Amino acid sequence: MSDLDLLHFEQLKNEVQTQYLVNHTPSFDDISKWKGIDIIYFQEDLRKIAKGNISEKSFYTYFKNSPVTKLPRIDMLNILSIYAGYVSWYDFKKNHLFVDEILKEGEELDENLEHKLEKSLENAGIIEAEIENDQKNSISVQKPVENLNEESNLQKNNTDNQIIKEKKQIFSTYDTSEQKSTFSIVKKYIWLGISGILAILVGLLGFKDELFSRKFYYSFVDADRNSKINAELQVQILKQDESPILYTAKPNEPFVYTTKSKTLTMVVSSPYYRTDTIQRNLETAPEAETIELKPNDYAIMLFYYSKSIKDLKRKRESLNYLISDNALIYQVYDNETYGVETMDKQRYINLVTLPSTSLENLEVIDTKNDKNNKIIMIKFKIATDEKPK
């Protein structure tokens, strides 16, 4: 990546901004100041014209910072180039070449040809040297073989004159069993016994949790519909003098908890169900149990209205009735550049009634109601489906 590529990308960002301003009027003309609903409208226009998409995280990474220090992936560069009216990122750069780029391209071509010629000459010299070494090695190998034959002939000729002397060796035998004492046998068995005891202790220490623990299975169902809950549940285990331990119960699966304790206190919560504190005496409790959770009807209706794209007028009226005029509404982002954004009731209703494919990833994190059953707090996010680079 060269500095000229980064300059080309800054040019491309300006042309993308100009293209979008032709048919749209965002909150700010400067693309680096867009956020929230402006980004969603831009994503829709990008999908419509370039048949591609960039995530909100990528938008904040490459459009909020100027100048950038690194280029996006080539597929994102091609999508933005098509949106700006070019065939590809290569076509965009070809139409915006600097004078230096043309000169450098010629210089690099000459250097590459010169480098290839030097390489071919070096390889030819190396091959000739290897051939000469092989020839020398074949000649030097033949000489030791001839010398070895001469030495073997001399050895054969002298065997007749050699005098063979016999050496008598005296071997003595003894019974090893007589050398063993009773003490050594007892010592051996003592060490075997100690080793066996140590092995048993290590096994007990390593598997004590499995030996003395019990597993309990808790299934959660909707109290009104008597059906399994098709949503993640947050389960907090409370222990005396300890901080809460947080678990996640997966949809349509029992929550499995392994413990050695005699009692259990857990708090089950979800954006769509009322928080419930469950206490059990585990000495008499069954291993498997089904627990009913009371649904939070207002949160479920809020989720339904946010997802539905039918009858927008009725949907806006229902949301206006459910949400308090003074409600606190937070949008949580999946990036470090822009963490949380607050918005008023009307802007939230405009956002969730926008017929956009981005709302397919809308997720309600938390809600709160007042005494009149009006929603006074909403926390939500629009999840990104971008794959990691």
Is the pTM higher than 0.85? no
Give the pLDDT of residue 336: 60
pLDDT score, position 65: 79
Tokens of residue 68, six digits: 């950038």
**Residue-level pLDDT at 121:** 39
Q: According to the model, what pLDDT value does residue 122 have?
A: 52
Taking the C-alpha atoms of residue 191 and residue 331, their distance in angstroms, rounded to an integer, is: 68
Res 316: pLDDT: 82
* pLDDT score of 267: 92
pLDDT of residue 233: 87
**Selecting from 3.40.640.10, 3.40.50.300, 3.30.420.40, 2.60.40.10, what CATH number does the domain 210-293 have?**
2.60.40.10
Extents of the domains making up the chain: 3-97, 210-293, 297-382
Distance CA 57, CA 46 (A): 15
Q: In three state form, how does the secondary structure of the chain look?
A: CCHHHHHHHHHHHHHHHHHHHHHCCCCCCCHHHCCCHHHHHHHHHHHHHHCCCCCHHHHHHHHCCCCCCCCCCHHHHHHHHHHCCCCCHHHHHHCCCCHHHHHHHHHHHHHHHHHHHHHHHHHHHHHHHHHHHHHHHHHHHHHHHHHHHHHHHHHHHHHHHCCCCCCCCCCCCCCHHHHCCHHHHHHHHHHHHHHHHHHHHHHHHHCHHHHHCEEEEEEEEECCCCCECCCCEEEEECCCCCCCEEEEECCCCCEEEEECCCEEEEEEEECCEEEEEEEEECCCCCCEEEEEECECHHHHHHHHHHHCCCCHHHHHHHHHHHEEEEEEEEEECCCCCCCEEEECHHHHHHHHCCCCHHHHHEEEEEEEECCCCCEEEEEEEECCCCCCC
Spell out the per-residue pLDDT of the chain, length 389, in tens: 577 888 888 999 999 999 999 999 998 999 989 988 899 999 999 999 999 999 988 999 899 877 888 899 999 999 999 999 999 999 999 998 877 665 354 444 444 444 444 454 355 445 445 545 554 454 444 444 444 444 444 444 454 445 555 555 544 444 555 555 777 788 778 988 898 898 888 877 766 666 678 889 999 888 888 888 877 888 999 988 788 998 988 888 889 988 888 889 999 988 778 889 998 988 888 889 999 888 876 677 666 666 665 666 777 888 888 899 989 998 888 766 557 889 898 888 888 777 666 666 778 888 888 888 889 999 888 876 554 44
Domain 297-382, what fold? Nuclear Transport Factor 2; Chain: A, (3.10.450)
> In b/e form, how buried is each residue of 35-48, taking b as 16+ CB within 10 angstroms?
bbbbbbbbbbebbe
pLDDT, residue 102, reads 58
